[in-house]
Amino acid sequence: MDRQPRAVDAGEGVTDAVIRIVEAGECPEDFAAAEPEDHRFLRAFQAAGIGDFRFGYLLVYRNEVRVSVVPYFTTEYRMNTLVTHVWLKHLLAPLRFRVACVGHPSTDQGRIEGEISAEVLQAVNGVLRDKGAAIAYKWFAEALPLDGFVEVDGLPINMLFAGGDYPAALSRNVRKNVLRKLRKSAALEFSAYTPDNPLPVEAIDEVYALYGNTAARADLQFEELNADYFRLTAPISSYLIARENGRMIGFVQWLRKGARMSGKYVGMDYTRNRQFDLYFGMVLQSILRGVAGGVREFDLGVGSYYSKRMIGAVQRPTRLYFRHHNAFVQALLKRCKFLLEPSAEELA
């Protein structure tokens, strides 16, 4: 994609003198400046060249004043991407279409910076209509004024809000569960890395190999990373590494901004998971170290809802919006929208 900003047609029904959209191929430096996933992360993810993703940023101007920044990506969307039931996943495997999606493949919550009005989104959709067979808005916490779109429940985000007294302030049962998991992992050696003391370059191959174990087992996966992702994001990431007798057996990658941390990716040697409760041992060690360093809000990602509730997390609802340009397909998707929604089993 051309990295130079360019003016584009905002679509019918939008007065060019009022609304003008400039398309940039690279994330603006001031986008999501207060978020853990800021422009540095978004640029690194894009530079890694993961999958078939193509990225763009729509800069929306009204009377020559920038009012919104809208990130989007295009990809070949498989209808079974968010389906976990095995038979249904196989049944839907052949169904796919190109989609222009507002949001980002690696962030748990969709984000539009600035004004989110029907007028702005109409102009945005006018630009996106030529970039795929459908337009989607991925996992937004707020309701969006989108005419003609189907709205479905997205995957909730596990959020943990921890005071300086975590885990003492938790309910008795949850606190006992946290302490039990910490005891199981106590025999491991944990190392923490931050942007001030980044993950050594020589450790990246081990990290990528462990990530491969997790990716191969994932029921729900929107993106599959490559080694370049870990190389490019290492300087801006925090890592918690678990070792057994000096051998790396697990990691958790985090991004931090102020008092907030966002969990990104995990990798493990699954032969060691049961003995040490490795996944939650790493997550809890990360939380304890983060709390000690002033972090109060942890984004624990989607999935594993019961287990994450049992360490104190709560669920933040999200919404997914979509509109296929073919009226017949749109009607079919509307009737089958339950396929895009998380099942009660997934949320339990």
Tens of pLDDT, residues 90-105: 666 677 889 999 999 9
More confident position, 160 or 80: 160
* Cα separation, 95 vs 97, whole angstroms: 7
3-state DSSP assignment of residue 301: coil
Domain limits, CATH 3.40.630.30, in the chain: 159-315
What DSSP character marks residue 32? Answer: T
Interval 261-265 mean pLDDT? 98
Interval 246-270 mean pLDDT? 98
Residue 11 has pLDDT above 50, yes or no: yes
- Which burial class, exposed, middle or buried, applies to 68 when counting CB atoms under 10 A from its CB (0-12, 13-18, 19+)? buried
The two most distant CA atoms of the chain are separated, in Å, by 66
- pLDDT in the model for residue 340: 75
User: What are all long-range contacts of 208-213, with beta carbons under 8 Å and residues at least 24 apart?
Assistant: 208/267, 209/267, 210/248, 210/249, 210/250, 210/251, 210/267, 210/268, 210/269, 211/251, 211/265, 211/266, 211/267, 212/267, 213/267, 213/268, 213/269, 213/270
CATH number of 6-156+317-347: 3.40.630
Please determine, looking at this structure, whether the domain spanning 159-315 carries the CATH number 3.40.50.300: no
Q: Give the tens place of pLDDT for each residue, 153-210.
A: 999 999 999 999 999 999 999 999 999 999 999 999 999 999 999 999 999 999 999 9
Question: What percent of the chain has a predicted confidence (pLDDT) above 70?
Answer: 90
pTM here is 0.91
- pLDDT in the model for residue 337: 84
Which of the four pLDDT bands, split at 50, 70 and 90, describes residue 127? very high
Taking each helix axis as running N to C, give the angle between helix 278-292 and helix 172-184, from 0 to 180 degrees, rounded to the nearest 10: 110
* Cα separation, 267 vs 190, whole angstroms: 14
60 contacts 68 by C-beta, under 8 angstroms:
yes
* Cα separation, 116 vs 264, whole angstroms: 27
Which of the four pLDDT bands, split at 50, 70 and 90, describes residue 332? confident
- pLDDT in the model for residue 88: 65
Question: What percent of the chain has a predicted confidence (pLDDT) above 90?
Answer: 82
Which has the minimum average pLDDT: 17-21, 82-86, 182-186? 82-86
Q: What is the CA radius of gyration of the chain?
A: 21
- pLDDT in the model for residue 13: 47
Q: Strands, DSSP E only, in 25-177?
A: 54-62, 65-78, 96-102, 113-114, 134-140, 150-153, 157-161
